Amino acid sequence: MLSQGLRRTAALLTSRALGRRQLSARIVDESYVEVQPAARGSGSAAALTFPAVWLRDNCRCPSCFHSSSQSRQLDWNHFDPNVRPLALHMDNDKQQLHVRWSDEHESSYALDWLQHRSFDGRSQSKYLDEFYRPRTKHWAGAEFERIAQRFNYDQVMSEDEPLQQWLQALAVYGVALLNGAPPDKAVVRHLAERVGFIRRTTYGEEFIVQAKPGAKNYAYLSLPLPLHTDLPYYEYKPSVNILHCLVQTQSPGGSNLLVDAFHIADRLRREHPDDFERLARTLVDWNDIGSEDGHEFHNIWRAPVICLDAAGEYTRINHSVPQRDSHFNVPLEQVLPWYRSYARFVQLARDDAYSFKTQPGDVLTFNNIRLLHGRTGYDDTEQNSRYIVGAYLDWDIVYSRLRVLKKRLTSNSTATTSTSSSSSSPSPSPSI
Ligand code: OGA
Ligand code: ZN
Ligand code: ZN
């Protein structure tokens, strides 16, 4: 809403068709269009204010918008950022706003379409938290059994709703488990392809985690595998880890360890702010050197342990003892304090780690750029050799799938219940 003080320059237009929602709109300060969805029942709907330049930029006519590619094709070489609305007209029957512009163009906008793009802060937060990316909920190790949701593999593979619930849980908590998967090495591929497609890395598409002689990766030993994120040495890290247990060790070890490193970062930020700052600012060299299938590789990526965006929200966590380079390209005086801060982070994480043991048929899926994972040491025997198949997905692919599912499931449910959307706080819908 604009402040009362703004000059109102054009007359209020009101449609008077009976039996319909009464719409009205006005031009405010030459630069804004205020749409008033008429009151429904006894409640009054809040006015929606749109910047005129944004409306012009988002004209839906065929010369400005290419509908089959759902893309803007407006000619931005001749776009006037000072474009003004000259006149408004409300079509109450079609529930549309029409605008005549100072650049001699005319545009129409459906009320529903406008409502879903409201600039109101609450609507925008709802869209960002529910549709763009679900808001994360951070958890302590002791809360694992409460937050870890379990889904049936066959249902996830065959029905949209369990698929959506699995991906939603993964996005919010960073971890979710599937059970009942067949003893088939292709399970991780089938799951990844149910979502989108596998993310290939130096170690291939599917990778087998088992104790191997002459292991090329520290994970391919039966030693304890300390908490870590996979591939911190990639700029474009695979971000979702899928680990399918085909054979679990009968020896006492082989348990999974999981920690929500966003929760550990929350604690550091609160309890040890200097350590937090240091871990968020110091670039660490992460590396991996070796060869796979006859191809040599030397991966390096420099990034802090705690990566933040401009708003101070976590974007990713990097942590690996084996995969931290001996090159450490920071000023000499930063080294000692960084080691102390990092040791504190590692200790907090270790103390918080939740331990459990997947069984054959379980598929553990988790956010590789948020959770730390590890494994306790184990002993293979001739008859029992632990066998895990892994693969990765990228968050881009997961979020995209989740949005498509949400649109599909929302449109199915609105088709069956035929309820109209609320004017002040619309939920994500196919018109998005
Ligand atoms: C890995 C890994 C976990 C396990 O291969 O990077 O974390 O349970 N494996 O073996
Ligand atoms: Zn147009
Ligand atoms: Zn790992």
Q: What's CA 422's distance to the chain center, in Å? A: 26
Cα dihedral 306→309→315→321 (10° resolution): -20
Q: Taking the alpha carbons of 333, 337, 343, 349 in that order, is the dihedral positive or negative?
A: negative
Q: Is 246 in the pocket of ligand 1 (CB under 6 A)?
A: no
Lowest-pLDDT range, 8-22, 179-193, 199-213, 333-347?
8-22
pLDDT in tens, 313-336: 999 999 999 999 999 999 999 999
Ligand index nearest the alpha carbon of residue 79: 2
Mean pLDDT of all residues belonging to the chain:
91
pLDDT in tens, 245-297: 999 999 999 999 999 999 999 999 999 999 999 999 999 999 999 998 889 99
Question: What band does 22 get if pLDDT is binned at 50, 70 and 90?
Answer: confident
Ligand index nearest the alpha carbon of residue 229: 3
Task: Determine the pLDDT at residue 38.
Answer: 75
Q: Give the list of residues 6+ apart from residue 8 with CB closer than 8 angstroms, or none.
A: 26, 27, 28, 29
CB atoms within 10 A of CB 147: 18
Task: Determine the pLDDT at residue 262.
Answer: 98
Lowest-pLDDT range, 117-131, 211-225, 335-349, 365-379?
211-225
Task: Determine the pLDDT at residue 40.
Answer: 65
Task: Determine the pLDDT at residue 420.
Answer: 39
What is the average pLDDT across 193-198? Answer: 98
d(CA 64, CA 73): 5
d(CA 416, CA 245): 40
% of the chain surpassing 90 pLDDT: 83
What is the average pLDDT across 109-119? Answer: 97
For residue 132, the SS3 value is helix
Q: Is the pLDDT of residue 7 over 50?
A: no
Domains of the chain: 12-124 (3.30.2020.30), 133-404 (3.60.130.10)
Q: Is the pLDDT of residue 11 over 60?
A: no
Distance 285 CA to ligand 2 centre (A): 50
Question: What band does 417 get if pLDDT is binned at 50, 70 and 90?
Answer: low
Question: What is the position in ligand 1's atom list of the atom closest to the CA of 358?
Answer: 8
Q: Is 219 in the pocket of ligand 1 (CB under 6 A)?
A: yes
Question: What band does 221 get if pLDDT is binned at 50, 70 and 90?
Answer: confident
Contacts 24+ apart (CB under 8 A), 328-332: 328/284, 328/285, 329/283, 329/285, 329/302, 330/282, 330/283
Give the residue, out of 177, 202, 208, 209, with the most ligand 1 atoms within 8 A of its beta carbon, to mutate for a pocket test: 209
Task: Determine which residue's CA is closest to atom 7 belonging to ligand 1.
Answer: 374
Task: Determine the pLDDT at residue 416.
Answer: 67
d(CA 175, CA 262): 13
What is the average pLDDT across 230-254? Answer: 97
- DSSP structural state of residue 4: T
Residue count of the chain: 432
Task: Determine the pLDDT at residue 2.
Answer: 43
Question: What band does 21 get if pLDDT is binned at 50, 70 and 90?
Answer: low
Distance 75 CA to ligand 2 centre (A): 10
Paired strand residues for 300? 287
- More reliable by pLDDT, 217 or 76: 76
Question: What band does 214 get if pLDDT is binned at 50, 70 and 90?
Answer: confident
Q: Is the pLDDT of residue 422 over 50?
A: no
Q: Residue 357 to residues 10, 255, 371: CA-CA distances in angstroms? A: 69, 4, 17
pLDDT in tens, 355-400: 999 999 999 999 999 999 999 999 999 999 999 999 999 999 999 9
Paired strand residues for 125? none
Which residues fall inside 5 Å of ion ligand 2, going by CB? 59, 61, 64
% of the chain surpassing 70 pLDDT: 90
Question: What is the position in ligand 1's atom list of the atom closest to the CA of 209?
Answer: 5
pLDDT in tens, 143-186: 999 999 999 999 999 999 999 999 999 999 999 999 999 999 99
For residue 340, the SS3 value is helix
Give the residue, out of 229, 386, 388, with the most ligand 1 atoms within 8 A of its beta carbon, to mutate for a pocket test: 388
Lowest-pLDDT range, 21-25, 78-82, 278-282, 298-302?
21-25
Task: Determine the pLDDT at residue 43.
Answer: 66
Q: Where are the alpha helices (DSSP H) in 159-311?
A: 160-173, 187-195, 261-271, 273-281
Task: Determine the pLDDT at residue 72.
Answer: 98
d(CA 282, CA 75): 44
Q: Is the pLDDT of residue 238 over 70?
A: yes
Cα–Cα–Cα angle for 295, 198, 412, nearest 5°? 170
Q: Is the pLDDT of residue 425 over 50?
A: no
What is the average pLDDT across 110-137? Answer: 97
Distance 30 CA to ligand 2 centre (A): 19
Q: Which residues of 69-83 are buried (b: 16+ CB within 10 A; e: fewer)?
A: eeeeebeeeeeeeeb
